[in-house]
């Protein structure tokens, strides 16, 4: 459909007609953690020297129709959802690859001949770096005859050297380190105010406290989320950085509150032309009844509590992104931990913990929202962590969490 490819002999083919459709179904809670698909495919052939059957692994580039992701109803389980990813390969591309490599494709038109055998790899470790490199440099994808050179055991291209990212960050945070004697906890410094690195260019003003890492995100990408957030979003962070928030007790309203309640996250953009794409992360407190209405499991409890904490609260994280951009987003890998003071250095540190089954993922869904003054379709991903889990982590590490119950206690800070 409008995609032209050219073979070794100069033959030009316009993709059209019949397509092979591939459909990958997964649970929404698992889809959020999956790696980005890097599809490679190729025909099976017989090696004339070894007489063994072997296959060609080819990155089809632009001959592979765009991977489309959506959320559908599970036809076999009422009330459940499935994440569906689909992509297409034109039958004419199969013919062209076979003719370029002197392979018979008569089975596509005749009866009684050997079938045309192909293999498919949906997460090719070789294709992923090439896709990312092509996107970052803006180069065109190779033609089908060039792609056919990527054969197992064939001529190999030298690996491209990693280029330093354009433009150094002005605001820096301390590098992540490992604390001695603690293998499952990553420790990263969280200074009260970020350091300003020396630079020959103009120095930008330091951001407000709580910014984990600054990014060169266009103001329009931040302001577009104002209507959905219900306020001006002043906090921005990279998706691979740290989101800093505090939970405290408001005695006047007789409830707990989270500050800040919203962040704009910058995800690296795969497509050329723009470095980042933005998404909105909101953090709020909800009770267990709300979580049960979402279809999620009841929050994790400390041993011996049973149902005594049935009215307790959980932190609910909601990530909103444009539906057409959600396919290119980095898969979520959620870690969290409290902020503490290092007794030896006096610095503020954060514990990076994999909370495992204490994080409950809800089914992603598509919602309507106002973005930049216009109604758009948004992908919403939600997960929750019980406050009881936060308390348990603090107690296990001898940290003060009295701020959750009294205004006289310090706020519970987490990243």
What is the SS3 string spanning the chain?
Answer: CCCEEECCCCCEEECCCCEEEEEEEECHHHHCCCCCCECEEEEEEECCCCCCEEECCECCHHHECCCEEEEEECCCCCCCEEEEEEEEEEHHHHHHHHHHCCCCCHHHCCCCCCCCCEEEECECCCHHHHHHHHHHHCCCCCCHHHHCCCCCCCCCCCCCCCCCCCCCCCEECCCCEECCCCCCCEEEECCCCCEECCCCCCCCCCCCCCCCCCCCCCHHHHHCCHHHHCCCCCCEEECCCCCCEEEEEECCCCEEEEECCEEEEEEECCCCCCCEEEEEEEEEEEEHHHHHHHCCCCCCCCCCCCCCCCCCEEEEEEEEEECCCHHHCCCCCCCECEEEECCCCCCEEEEEECCHHHEEECCCEEEEEEECCEEEEEEEEEEEEEHHHHHHHHHHCCCCCHHHCCCCCCCEEEC
Do 189 and 174 touch, CB atoms closer than 8 A? Answer: yes
Q: What's the full length of the chain, in residues?
A: 415
The predicted structure's pLDDT at residue 66: 62
Instruction: Record the tokens describing residue 136, joined without a space.
Output: 């970052």
The predicted structure's pLDDT at residue 86: 83
The predicted structure's pLDDT at residue 43: 87
The predicted structure's pLDDT at residue 183: 33
d(CA 189, CA 174): 6
Beta-carbon contacts of residue 348 (< 8 Å; ≥ 6 apart) = 189, 190, 191, 192, 339, 340, 341, 342
The predicted structure's pLDDT at residue 252: 80
Do 44 and 116 touch, CB atoms closer than 8 A? Answer: no
The predicted structure's pLDDT at residue 7: 47
* Backbone φ and ψ of 352, nearest 5°: -100, 105
- Residue whose entry in the numeric block shows the structure tokens 């929404």: 28
Longest dimension (CA), the chain: 83
Cis peptide before 269 (omega within 30 of 0): no
Low-confidence ranges of the chain (pLDDT < 50): 1-8, 134-158, 164-213, 296-310
Beta-carbon contacts of residue 344 (< 8 Å; ≥ 6 apart) = none
* Backbone φ and ψ of 388, nearest 5°: -65, -35
d(CA 43, CA 94): 8
| Whole-angstrom Cα Rg for the chain | 26
């Amino acid at each position: 459909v409008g995609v032209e490819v050219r073979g070794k002999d100069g033959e030009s083919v316009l993709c059209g007609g019949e397509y092979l459709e591939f459909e990958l179904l997964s649970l929404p809670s698992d889809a959020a953690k999956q790696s980005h698909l890097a599809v490679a495919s190729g025909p099976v052939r017989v090696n004339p020297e070894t007489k063994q059957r072997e296959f060609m692994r080819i990155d089809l580039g632009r001959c592979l129709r765009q991977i489309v992701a959506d959320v559908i109803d599970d036809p076999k389980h009422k009330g459940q959802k499935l994440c569906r990813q689909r992509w297409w390969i034109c039958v004419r591309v199969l013919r062209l690859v076979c003719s370029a490599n002197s392979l018979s494709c008569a089975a596509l038109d005749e009866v009684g001949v050997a079938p045309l055998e192909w293999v498919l790899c949906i997460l090719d470790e070789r294709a992923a770096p090439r896709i990312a490199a092509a996107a970052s440099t803006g180069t065109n994808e190779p033609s089908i005859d060039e792609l056919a050179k990527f054969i197992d055991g064939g001529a190999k291209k030298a690996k491209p050297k990693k280029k330093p990212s354009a433009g150094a960050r002005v605001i820096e945070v301390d590098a992540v380190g490992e604390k001695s004697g603690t293998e499952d906890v990553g420790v990263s410094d969280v200074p009260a105010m970020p350091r300003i690195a020396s630079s020959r260019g103009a120095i930008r003003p330091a951001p407000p406290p709580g910014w984990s890492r600054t990014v060169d995100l266009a103001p329009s990408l931040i302001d577009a989320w104002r209507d959905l957030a219900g306020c001006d979003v002043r906090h921005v962070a990279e998706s691979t950085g740290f989101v800093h928030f505090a939970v405290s007790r408001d005695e006047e309203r007789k409830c707990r509150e989270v500050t800040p309640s919203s962040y704009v996250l910058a995800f690296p953009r795969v497509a050329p032309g723009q470095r980042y794409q933005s998404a909105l992360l909101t953090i709020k407190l909800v009770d267990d009844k709300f979580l049960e209405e979402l279809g999620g499991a009841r929050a994790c409890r400390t041993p011996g509590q049973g149902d005594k904490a049935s009215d307790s609260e959980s932190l609910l994280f909601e990530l909103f992104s444009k539906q057409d951009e959600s396919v290119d987003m980095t898969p979520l890998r959620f870690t969290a931990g409290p902020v503490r003071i290092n007794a030896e250095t006096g610095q503020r540190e954060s514990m990076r913990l994999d909370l495992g089954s204490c994080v409950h993922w809800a089914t992603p869904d598509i919602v309507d929202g106002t973005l930049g003054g216009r109604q758009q379709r948004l992908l919403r991903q939600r997960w929750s962590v019980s406050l009881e889990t936060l308390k348990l982590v603090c107690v296990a590490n001898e940290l003060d969490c009295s701020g959750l119950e009294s205004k006289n206690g310090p706020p519970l800070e987490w990243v």
